[in-house]
């Protein structure tokens, strides 16, 4: 009986969370996998992890932090699994050199998004995690809480991310 109640609580909680944070989970899944079928697998993995996490959620952090932690960890896990097949990953310090033949002159939305994915795809796991959370609109303190990186490390990375984005997306910045 109590198991049923717990299970119903878990289901209700998950349904609410999926409705509220489903879009964010989709974006994070997209940041780590370009192939639609495999991305769907990653997304399903995130949803399963969120559902399973319900008994562990004790409210010591916000639901937002909790969900972003799970989504970031599933994404990192996926990148870690797949990286043997990927091209070498680079840190933000070297990311400015990427796509040097293409200065991203085209401002169309989907092309700009593709370029953004290309940049994210080449980043190593720590930087990928920070840039994704930054793009999600999380502040430095929350990114620090999600990732466990020190506030100083997050601030440094956000600063580099802004420089990197400014370098690659001049025309979008000026819109």
* Residues that bind other proteins in the complex, under the rule CB under 8 A: 11, 14-15, 18, 22-23, 26-27, 30, 36, 40, 43-45, 47-49, 51-53, 56-57, 66, 69-70, 72-74, 76-77, 80, 109, 112-113, 116, 124-126, 129, 134-140, 145-150, 152-153, 156, 158, 162, 165, 169, 172-173, 175
| Residue number, 97 or 110, with CB nearest to other proteins | 110
| 8 Å CB contact between 173 and 166 | yes
| 8 Å CB contact between 154 and 147 | yes
| Residue number, 37 or 97, with CB nearest to other proteins | 37
Q: How far is the CB of 41 from other proteins (least distance, A)?
A: 10
On the 0-12 / 13-18 / 19+ scale of CB atoms within 10 A, 84 is exposed
Residue 154 neighbours by CB under 8 Å, 6+ apart = 130, 140, 143, 144, 147
| Residue number, 44 or 86, with CB nearest to other proteins | 44
Closest CA to 117 of 31, 43, 38: 31
| Residue number, 30 or 97, with CB nearest to other proteins | 30
């Amino acid at each position: 009986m109590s198991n049923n109640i717990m299970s119903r609580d878990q289901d209700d909680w998950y349904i609410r969370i999926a409705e509220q944070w489903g879009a964010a989970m989709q974006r994070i899944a997209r940041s780590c996998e370009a192939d639609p079928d495999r991305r769907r697998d990653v997304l399903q993995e995130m949803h399963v992890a969120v559902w399973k996490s319900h008994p562990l959620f004790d409210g010591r952090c916000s639901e937002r932090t909790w969900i972003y932690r799970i989504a970031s960890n599933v994404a990192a896990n996926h990148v870690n699994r797949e990286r043997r097949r990927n091209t070498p990953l680079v840190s933000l310090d070297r990311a400015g050199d990427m796509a040097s033949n293409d200065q991203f002159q085209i401002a169309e939305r989907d092309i700009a998004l593709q370029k953004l994915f290309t940049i994210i795809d080449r980043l190593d796991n720590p930087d990928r995690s920070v840039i994704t959370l930054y793009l999600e609109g999380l502040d430095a303190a929350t990114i620090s809480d999600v990732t466990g990186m020190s506030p100083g490390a997050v601030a440094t990375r956000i600063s580099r991310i802004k420089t990197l984005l400014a370098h690659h997306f001049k025309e979008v910045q000026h819109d």
